Structures are given as structure tokens and as C-alpha cells.
Amino acid sequence: MIIELEKEDFYKCRDILHENGLIEVKAIIEGINTGRVFVDDQNVPTTGFVWLGNNDGFIFFGNEANLAFNQELNSFIEGVIKPEAAKVGLKWFEALGDHADWHKSLERTFQHRPLGSWNQRVYQYKGKFSKIQKGCTLDDRYKVHKLDSYFYANNQAINMERMVVKVLESWSSMESSFKSGIGYCITYENKIVSSCFSVFTNGDIHSIAIETAEEHRGKKLAQHLTYHFINACVDANKIPYWDCVEQNKASIAVAEACGFEMVYRYGGSEFPIHP
């Protein structure tokens, strides 16, 4: 029987996480980032999945060959996940595996559905301090800020609330993101136009969420912020982690221009769950 764990019981899943699995799972199990956890057994789980707090997917972990779990999964999605997803406007079930064997298992489990798939690339930065490349200088009207408690309390950016909403998709509070995460943003005429912050972290590795307003793209703002993020990670002895869809050529270009190295690929499956 698939059940949802209370946050205080997430620790019971530690021993079944893959050593080199996706950091989002570890971040949620350790209570650093927000998310929900569903497992096959409340006391001694062997298989489960996390629903990412930012609604960016469902990641499966543990024993991918758990027949009872896999057989119940479709009815659980229809009876529990689908109504909950409707409340937050989530229309697609995006399924990922904590290790490679999950991909085939999920394809078999969902084979009766209109199943789509895609590939992801994971990059890590393994170098020392990064230097901003020539041609990456900013117009004087752009200002770089560290996303910390001082900026949050004292900056008068007119769209600060939107930044807060974005951060709180994966953090329980702004204070927790300042304490455990790393982040920077760029303002233009008192408006945040680009941001780069830790969307998930397992403590040592920081996954980057980066976004630039459409009207300010093409000006290397993302690349500029990434350099700041990299150097803050290196200074704190942390590892920057970049995860993007393989078709996102712009994201890949920024990662590689900033010195990230691809460490592995993995696949995902998706199907609609809207009414």
C-alpha cells in the first residue's frame, strides 16, 4: 500500500537512496528543501517517490522491481495524485528515477498511457575560482546583488514579491534559503530582471535555478550571475550543479561557457494528468 510519510519520518528513506542519485531526492529526505514523500511501507520503506516542492516532477527511488508498488502506482496516481495536482494547476506527471534502472521500470508501468520522454544533462563545476570572460561586462544600469537577508530586508525592487514566490517553491522560508542556499540577482531600474539561486541542495552540492526576463535576454546576464554563483560555491567548498533538458541549447551554452563539465545523462517520462 502506498502511503504519504510525515516529514519527521523522511529519515527512514535514507538507506534506500542511491549513492549517486539525483540531489533533489536527498535534499527533500534531509528536510533541506520542500517536497512530499510517498512510500510502500511506513516503517521500513523499500520503494518510494518524492513530489518536488516546486512541482517540477516526481522522482522515484529505492527498489525499481517492487512488483506490488508498481502494480498499485497507476491507481494511486489517479485516486490521490491527480486530485492533488489539480489543486495546484499541475497538468503533467513527469517521472524520473533516482538511478538508471528506474527508466525502463517506469516505461513498463506507464506503457498504457500516452507516454512521452525526454533526456536531461547534468553538469558540475569542478574547477577553482572562475573569471568573468571578456565581453561579459554589464551596462551600468544593471546591478548585481547577493540574495541574502540584507537584500531582502532593505532592497526596494518593485517585483520582489515575484522573487519570493519563486524561492518559496523549493524552500520552506526565505530565511532557510539564505542559511542553506546561495543566490544572486541583477536589478535594472529597480526591478529584478535575472536571478540565480540554489533550488535544491544536499548540503555539499547546489543545484542552480536561473532565469532572465525575456526582454533582457541576450545580454549575458545569466552568464554573469553564474560566475558569481560559482565563486561563492568554491569559496564555501560547495559544488555547483547544473541540470537541464538536453534540448535547451541556450542553457547548455551558458553552462559550458562558464566551465561546467557534463557528468551524466538521464531520461524522464511524462503523461497528462489534467481532467
- Dist CA 199 CA 170 (whole Å): 6
Q: What local confidence, expressed as pLDDT, does residue 274 receive?
A: 78
> Rounded mean pLDDT of 14-20?
93
Q: What local confidence, expressed as pLDDT, does residue 129 receive?
A: 66
| Sheet of strand 142-146: strand arrangement | 3-4, 35-39, 47-52, 58-62, 92-97, 261-272, 116-124, 239-245, 205-212, 192-201, 183-188, 142-146
Written as nine digits, the cell of 249 is: 541549447
Same topology for domains 3-120 and 142-259, yes or no? yes
- Dist CA 99 CA 126 (whole Å): 22
Residue with cell 544572486: 184
pLDDT tens-place string over residues 111-138: 999 999 999 999 999 887 665 555 567 8
In one letter, which amino acid is 151?
A: F
**In this model, does residue 93 exceed pLDDT 60?**
yes
Q: Grade residue 270 by pLDDT with cuts at 50, 70 and 90.
A: very high
Q: Grade residue 156 by pLDDT with cuts at 50, 70 and 90.
A: confident
What is the Rg, in whole angstroms, of the alpha carbon atoms belonging to the chain? 19
Written as nine digits, the cell of 142 is: 544593471
> Rounded mean pLDDT of 86-92?
95
Strands (E), 106-258: 116-124, 142-146, 183-188, 192-201, 205-212, 239-245
Pick from 72-76, 134-138, 212-216: least confident:
134-138
Fold for 142-259, please state it.
Answer: Aminopeptidase (3.40.630)
Q: What local confidence, expressed as pLDDT, does residue 132 receive?
A: 55
**In this model, does residue 53 exceed pLDDT 60?**
yes
Q: Where are the domains of the chain?
A: 3-120, 142-259
- Dist CA 180 CA 171 (whole Å): 10
- Average pLDDT of every residue of the chain: 93
**In this model, does residue 265 exceed pLDDT 60?**
yes
> Rounded mean pLDDT of 178-187?
96
* Crossing angle of helices 101-109 and 67-76, rounded to 10°: 50
Q: What local confidence, expressed as pLDDT, does residue 133 receive?
A: 58
Ramachandran region, residue 175 (left: φ > 0; alpha: ψ -120 to 50; beta: rest) = alpha
CATH top-level class for 3-120?
A: alpha beta
Nearest to 33 by CA among 9, 12, 51: 51
